[in-house]
Amino acid sequence: MKAFFDERQLGHAPSFYFRRGAAMPHQEQPQRAEILRDMLLREGFEVAAPQDHGLDPIKAIHNPDYVDFLPDAHARFVESAGEDALAIPTMHPGRRRGKEPADIHGQLGWWMTDTSTPLTEGSWDAAYWSAQTAIEAAEEILSGERAAYALCRPPGHHAMRDCSNGFCFFNNACIAANYLRQKFNKVALIDIDVHTGNGSLDILYERGDIFFCSLHPDPANYPTFYLGHADETGEGEGAGKSLNILLEMGADEAAVLEALDRGIAAISDFGAEALVVSLGFDMAADDPLAGVAVHAKGFGQMADRLAAMSLPTVLVQEGGYLGPSLDDNAQSFLTSFRAALK
């Protein structure tokens, strides 16, 4: 199982963001990807840089105007606000009546939902190559490989069609799932990050060709809030093609594995021909953003269950922050998945 990663993904280096009204160190640091990359090399995975597949696969998922806003947004912000200011939105249009303004500060509020995606000098390159990493992994599947791992950083599953959200700029998993539709009629995306895959739900909610399932605590009381409730099952052609499986706060491995089995059964009923996994190691009990309590052995069991589906699979990295067990959890999942392929 080949892995993909581009060193330019380390260029997004936000120093802080606001959480519950307080400024705090940003959780989504380049070191996350370095830990995962170094584990892959230590465990004998081949790690390759992705090719450049351009903007078309990204714009197939995201509003093209949103995509075009990002490349020079940081430079324009610095020109207006200065080097010491934090490139975050400080005003918002409410529930999206109105039009995109020309001013950079208004544009930040138009295209960005919160303070967790501050733009830095390297943010565009990092987000772009994170998406290319997911596309390259999907290309590996289209070429006939059974599985591939995309070490995507920054992550993607909170990014909606036309806005950044929750550390995420481009929805790498949705981009990969849509890319797989070139070959597969039915694709499933299962999100095992501890947070709701709210961006994926937003993007896929009316699609009947990509089944979406997310395991997460109740968004009524746990970030990212707003989306991911049990009664949100899709609309139009997507009716019945979205499944949110709610976990109790602090749920143990047995409860998480039971929920995963429910998701796998639903994907089987859908008749999926290929699979994308939004892989979040923030399910870990000691993750800084922990909501449930999975340990290294449990991540290995999750990998075994997903590999046993015997579907062509793209693993797309989402969360998993700088907790003590990040290396161990990633090693357990990825080596277990690789072993199950043999």
Q: Starting at the earlier edge strand, list the strands of the sheet with 274-279.
A: 47-48, 2-4, 147-150, 313-317, 274-279, 187-191, 210-217, 242-247
The reported pLDDT for the residue numbered 94 is 72
Beta pairing partners, 23:
18
Domains of the chain, earliest start first: 2-71+122-340 (3.40.800.20)
Q: Pick the closest to residue 261 from 306, 298, 230, 214 (CA basis).
A: 306
Pair 167, 27: CB distance under 8 Å? yes
Active site residue 158: yes
The reported pLDDT for the residue numbered 19 is 86
The reported pLDDT for the residue numbered 342 is 79
Q: Which residue has the tokens 């693993």?
A: 315
Residue 302 CB contacts under 8 Å (≥ 6 apart), including other chains: 192, 256, 257, 260, 294, 333
The reported pLDDT for the residue numbered 285 is 97
Residue of 105, 158, 195, 216 marked catalytic: 158
Report how far residue 187's alpha carbon sits from residue 311's, in angstroms, rounded to the nearest whole number: 10
Beta pairing partners, 276:
189, 314
Report how far residue 98's alpha carbon sits from residue 124's, in angstroms, rounded to the nearest whole number: 26
- In 193-207, which positions are buried (b, 16+ CB within 10 angstroms) versus exposed (e)? bbbbbbbbbbbbbeb
The reported pLDDT for the residue numbered 335 is 98
Identity at 295, one-letter amino acid code: H
The reported pLDDT for the residue numbered 95 is 64
Tokens of 115: 């303070």
The reported pLDDT for the residue numbered 63 is 97
Report how far residue 234's alpha carbon sits from residue 201's, in angstroms, rounded to the nearest whole number: 8
What does residue 144 show for φ and ψ, rounded to 5 degrees? 115, 0
Low-confidence ranges of the chain (pLDDT < 70): 95-97
The reported pLDDT for the residue numbered 158 is 98
pLDDT tens across 280-308, in order?
999 999 999 999 999 999 999 999 999 99
Q: Pick the closest to residue 113 from 279, 227, 280 (CA basis).
A: 227
Report how far residue 317's alpha carbon sits from residue 193's, in angstroms, rounded to the nearest whole number: 9
User: Dihedral sign, CA of 199, 234, 272, 210?
Assistant: negative
Identity at 52, one-letter amino acid code: D
Tokens of 295: 């340990």
Report how far residue 217's alpha carbon sits from residue 229's, in angstroms, rounded to the nearest whole number: 9
Instruction: State how beta strands 22-25 and 16-19 pair.
Output: antiparallel
Pair 333, 167: CB distance under 8 Å? no
Helix ranges, the chain (H):
30-42, 56-59, 64-69, 73-81, 104-111, 123-142, 172-180, 198-204, 253-270, 296-307, 326-340
Report how far residue 111's alpha carbon sits from residue 63's, in angstroms, rounded to the nearest whole number: 10
The reported pLDDT for the residue numbered 99 is 84
The reported pLDDT for the residue numbered 243 is 98
